[in-house]
């Protein structure tokens, strides 16, 4: 692992040990955790924003799991459901989820658009879409859907999950976890023509 990777791993460890929304990712704290000096950290990440952006990208890149999507002995709908369901809010930290969603979108798309949040939002969308497409490609290779439908189905799943996530955060009394799961199963059944 490179020194740069060590620094990112140290920052992620600090984040994981913190309560949601309370991560302390100061240059000194991250440098101490990584066992490097602040000047070494600054060599790789000249600003705190650079460090935070790279941490966010790294977390996004590894946070979505493939679970058992490649296990063809299991039901394809259940495999896809398990993978997609992780993209929905769990309501355990609903207020933080709503605040995070609103802040990211306001900073990325609002009147005072900021470049870092815009890049992170684009990256999050790319990672999510790539995972959906990869999962559907696997199922198509097993004959569970037409390979020509993978692209449109990926977009349909992406937009549905995004909408369900937002509305389950905004109106959790109406769009409950059970409702999001029912809708996700409904969409998967349509995609797999069941």
Q: Same domain, yes or no, for 79 and 48?
A: no
- pLDDT tops 70 at residue 23: no
Q: Same domain, yes or no, for 78 and 167?
A: yes
Q: Same domain, yes or no, for 45 and 69?
A: no
For 163, the domain range is 64-191
CA distance 3 to 8: 9
Q: CATH code at 157? A: 1.10.357
Q: Same domain, yes or no, for 130 and 45?
A: no
Domains identified in the chain, total number: 2
Q: Same domain, yes or no, for 79 and 141?
A: yes
Question: What is the tens place of the pLDDT at every residue in 73-105?
Answer: 999 999 999 999 999 987 677 777 777 878 888
Residue 57 lies in a domain: no
Q: Same domain, yes or no, for 127 and 98?
A: yes
Residue 58 lies in a domain: no
Question: What is the tens place of the pLDDT at every residue in 102-148?
Answer: 888 889 998 988 998 999 999 999 999 999 999 999 999 999 999 99
CA distance 83 to 146: 20
For residue 13, what are its two tokens? 């460890």
Q: pTM of the full predicted structure? A: 0.85
- pLDDT-derived band at 60, boundaries 50, 70, 90: confident
Q: Same domain, yes or no, for 40 and 89?
A: no
- Cβ atoms of 181 and 85 within 8 Å: the answer is yes
Output the CA–CA distances (angstroms, integers) from residue 27 to 39, 45, 158, in the order listed.
9, 9, 35
Q: Same domain, yes or no, for 46 and 136?
A: no
Q: Same domain, yes or no, for 78 and 111?
A: yes
Q: Same domain, yes or no, for 71 and 128?
A: yes
Task: Specify the residue for token string 């966010």.
Answer: 56
Q: Same domain, yes or no, for 112 and 44?
A: no
pLDDT of residue 6: 93
Residue 80 lies in a domain: yes
DSSP string, the chain: --HHHHHHHHHHHHHHHSPTT-----HHHHHHHHT--HHHHHHH-SSHHHHHHHHHHHHHHHHS--TTTT-TTS-HHHHHHHHHHTTS--STTHHHHHHHHHHHHHHHHSTT--HHHHHHHHHHHHHHHHHHHHHHHHHHHTTSS-GGGHHHHHHHHHHHHHHHHHHHHH-TTTS-HHHHHHHHHHHHHHHTT-
Query: Which stretch of 13-27, 31-45, 158-172 has the lowest confidence by average pLDDT?
Result: 13-27
Spell out the residues 6+ positions from residue 96 whose beta carbon is closer than 8 angstroms to its own: 20, 21
Q: Same domain, yes or no, for 73 and 144?
A: yes
């Amino acid at each position: 692992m490179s020194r740069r990777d060590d620094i990112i791993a140290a920052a992620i460890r600090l984040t994981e040990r913190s309560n949601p929304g309370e991560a302390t990712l100061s240059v000194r704290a991250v440098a101490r955790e990584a066992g490097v000096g602040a000047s070494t950290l600054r060599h790789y990440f000249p600003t705190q924003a650079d460090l935070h952006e790279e941490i966010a990208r790294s977390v996004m890149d590894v946070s979505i799991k493939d679970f058992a999507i490649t296990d063809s002995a299991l039901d394809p709908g259940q495999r896809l459901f398990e993978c997609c369901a992780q993209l929905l809010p769990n309501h355990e930290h609903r207020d933080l989820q709503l605040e995070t969603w609103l802040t990211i979108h306001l900073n990325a798309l609002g009147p005072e658009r900021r470049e870092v949040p815009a890049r992170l939002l684009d990256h999050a969308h790319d990672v999510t879409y790539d995972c959906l497409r990869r999962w559907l490609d696997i199922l198509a290779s097993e004959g569970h859907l037409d390979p020509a439908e993978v692209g449109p189905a990926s977009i349909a799943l992406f937009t549905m999950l995004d909408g369900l996530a937002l509305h389950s955060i905004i109106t959790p009394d109406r769009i409950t976890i059970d409702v999001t799961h029912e809708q996700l199963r409904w969409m998967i059944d349509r995609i797999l023509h069941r």
